[in-house]
Chains A and B, each alone.
Chain A
Amino acid sequence: GAVVSQHPSRVICKSGTSVKIECRSLDFQATTMFWYRQFPKQSLMLMATSNEGSKATYEQGVEKDKFLINHASLTLSTLTVTSAHPEDSSFYICSVEGVTGELFFGEGSRLTVL
């Protein structure tokens, strides 16, 4: 069964609105979760590391005020894309690290900003 659950799987919104994506670790507690973004036919680019109970660590070039991450519990991290614009349209994927170091990915959320 799924180890990581992500919701919604698809979202379409108007430019200027905010969108929240949830990532849940189903099988174990996760003090750390990773958020990736993937543009069509491209690789996965790490956006930020979500840390339970503390601030997220953002990768260079990722605007922390635009991509708000909250990791309030050991099983839930959320990514909010604020004031979304068409260039933010992408496939957003969260992941959790397993006990032997592998990454378990959520199903991904495809965001389309009109």
Chain B
Amino acid sequence: QQPVQSPQAVILREGEDAVINCSSSKALYSVHWYRQKHGEAPVFLMILLKGGEQMRHEKISASFNEKKQQSSLYLTASQLSYSGTYFCGTEEAGGTSYGKLTFGQGTILTVHP
């Protein structure tokens, strides 16, 4: 079952912050975050494994609450280059296919000057 992302779209001005959430109905082993620009393939941002850890990639960080089966992506002091569609991808705990991800529906982030 597909994880649910919220919000569906975010519009920011440069320098503002945003949070994107990803929620699953299933127990998770890991959560991935990817960014996709229009007409291009997704690009990996970070992976979070169960354990409630936080990760950081430049001014983008993420957290994973395995008990709540939720992850959040935090974009701080947004830049124009952050614009794109953000997808979370979840890997189920105890899954039979290693590396198999189910992606959320995506969150469209637009950063204006």
**Using a CB–CB distance below 8 Å, which chain A residues touch chain B?**
6, 32, 34, 42-46, 49, 57, 93, 97-98, 100-108
Contacts and interface: CB of A to CB of B under 8 A. Distances in A.
Interface in B17-36: 30, 32, 34
Contacts of A103: 32, 34, 42, 44, 89, 99, 101
B87 interface: yes
Interface in B40-93: 40-44, 47, 49, 87, 89
A107 B36 CA distance: 11
A45 B87 CA distance: 12
Given A43-B87, A43-B104, A43-B106, A105 B97 contact: no
Closest 4 CB pairs of A and B: A105-B41, A97-B99, A102-B44, A108-B41
Given A43-B106, A103-B32, A32 B87 contact: no
B110 interface: no
Nearest to B106: A43
A97 B91 CA distance: 13
9 contacts: A34-B100, A44-B87, A49-B97, A101-B32, A102-B44, A105-B34, A105-B43, A107-B40, A108-B40
Contact of A100 (B34, B42, B47, B87): B47
Contacts of A46: 100-102
B97 A44 contact: no
B104 to A, nearest CB: 6
Contacts of A102: 32, 44, 47
A106 B89 CA distance: 17
Given A34-B100, A102-B32, A43 B2 contact: yes
B6 interface: no
